[in-house]
Amino acid sequence: MTRPAPLVVKLGGALLDDATQFPQVFDALARMHQLHTGGLVIVHGGGKAVDRQLERVGLHTERREGIRITPPEAVEQVTAVLAGAMNTQLLGLLLSRGVSAVGLTLSDGHLSRAIKTQRFDFDPGRVGELVGGDGALIHHLLSGGFLPVLSSIAVCEAGGLLNVNADDAAAQLAGILKAQGLLLLTDVPGVKDADGQVIAELSSLAAEALINDGTITGGMIAKVRGAIDAAERSNVPVVIASWSNPAALEALASGASIGTKVLPKTQCTATAHDTTGAFAAADTGVVNL
């Protein structure tokens, strides 16, 4: 019998700046891992912690199009924070709640193949993107009841370290794992329209239009495009939502709608006005959490 597909959850924003101050969020994640038949896979960044470490060692931080420019002299510092201190802290928060969490990078067990990204018209330095991989290790861990927690660090085929934007990493990982869905947890309640109101649903075409007209800007561009990419790869909706309301996360586990749901093209017509649940998609075999 085929094991149910997992839910990929990406953590970001102020939650990671001082994760110990938000115990209810990790209570909710622990509960979601227990409730969801396929289990959770967590992917995290840690932008502010990386900023502080680079400042300590006298390295300047620059971002363009929502991406951290990562020169060779900075990538080891980024790795130390994300794959070291940050990942271990998150493991501790989950382990203390009885969750069998396991810390990994994006390259452990050939989970992903990474290359230096070619997506931009500028050189971002040691920034990577995932171009495929093998999810066998993650599925093996999930089958044993473990919760994989992945930092957004990868190793390219030539052996060098790569800093992968965590939103992009989560999106690509959802495709590699054929995940049931992707939940992007951040410090904003969802994608906002020109009037500052959260948009309940977005098609990929509508999202690109909002990027092109300047409604969606800065770091949200990477979040939305990551959501579009994951939706198209896995043919399931992707939700961008805030971690600041743990009760809503518990409701999500029961099928409630929160944040902004980004729909894959194949579901845009059939579910344009769907309100039956954040990950409802009857025609693809996807079930509510």
Under DSSP, is residue 73 helix (H, G, I), strand (E, B) or coil?
helix
pLDDT of residue 269: 52
Identical fold at 12-26+39-179 and 181-289?
yes
pLDDT of residue 23: 92
H/E run at residue 241: strand 238-242
Q: How many CB atoms lie within 10 A of CB 214?
A: 8
Q: What is the mean pLDDT of each run of 10 residues along the chain (289 residues)?
A: 84 85 92 88 92 93 86 95 96 97 97 92 92 94 97 90 91 88 85 92 90 89 82 80 81 76 74 42 35
CATH number of the domain located at residue range(s) 12-26+39-179 in this protein: 3.40.1160.10
Residues constituting the chain: 289
Which residues are marked as active site? 10, 13, 47, 167, 223
pLDDT of residue 191: 93
CA distances from 18 to 100, 218, 241, 266 (A): 22, 23, 19, 39
Torsion of CA 3, 129, 17, 200, to 10 degrees: -70
pLDDT of residue 18: 84
pLDDT of residue 263: 87
Contact 54, 60 (CB under 8 A): yes
Residue ranges per structural domain of the chain: 12-26+39-179, 181-289
H/E run at residue 204: helix 204-212
CATH number of the domain located at residue range(s) 181-289 in this protein: 3.40.1160.10
